[in-house]
């Protein structure tokens, strides 16, 4: 039984082609680079003595940002910071779902 397990492990290891592994690594790196550009920082007026609070979100469509509803809270000024430092004003909460803790923000 032990020999069969070791044999199976060796056979499976030999089935992995180095070229395929390299292509997978490159595609993961490309995926991360593409995804990174859609991640944003959601900045809101702080609660109590806090000056501001932050959370994250991501671009889902032109002028639409998805984030958690608890990040934007209720009736606090919110703006978006893109990865390169550009600031976008939030026009409105386009849609929300309290149960899912999801908010879609419309930006200028």
Identify the CATH number of the domain in which residue 57 sits: 2.40.10.10
Q: Which domain holds residue 25?
A: 2-34
Query: pLDDT for 5-37, tens place per residue?
Result: 555 556 555 555 555 555 666 688 887 877 888
* Number of separate domains in the chain: 2
Strands 64-68 and 78-81: unpaired
Same domain, 12 and 49: no
Residues 80 and 97 in one domain: yes
CB 96 within 8 A of CB 106: no
Residue 96, CA distances (Å) to 9, 48, 51, 92 in order? 49, 24, 25, 11
User: Same domain for 54 and 12?
Assistant: no
Check pLDDT > 90 for residue 49.
no
The verdict on pTM exceeding 0.75 is no
**pLDDT value at residue 35:** 80
Q: How far is CA 36 from its chain centroid?
A: 8
């Amino acid at each position: 039984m032990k020999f069969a397990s070791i044999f199976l492990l060796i056979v499976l290891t030999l089935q992995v082609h180095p070229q395929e592994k390299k292509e997978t690594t490159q595609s993961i790196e490309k995926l991360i680079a593409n995804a990174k550009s859609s991640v944003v920082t959601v900045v809101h007026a702080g609660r109590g003595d806090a000056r501001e609070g932050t959370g994250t979100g991501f671009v889902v469509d032109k002028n639409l940002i998805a984030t958690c509803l608890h990040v934007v809270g209720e009736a606090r000024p919110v703006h978006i910071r893109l990865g390169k430092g550009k600031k976008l004003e939030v026009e409105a909460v386009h849609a929300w779902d309290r149960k899912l803790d999801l908010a879609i923000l419309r930006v200028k």
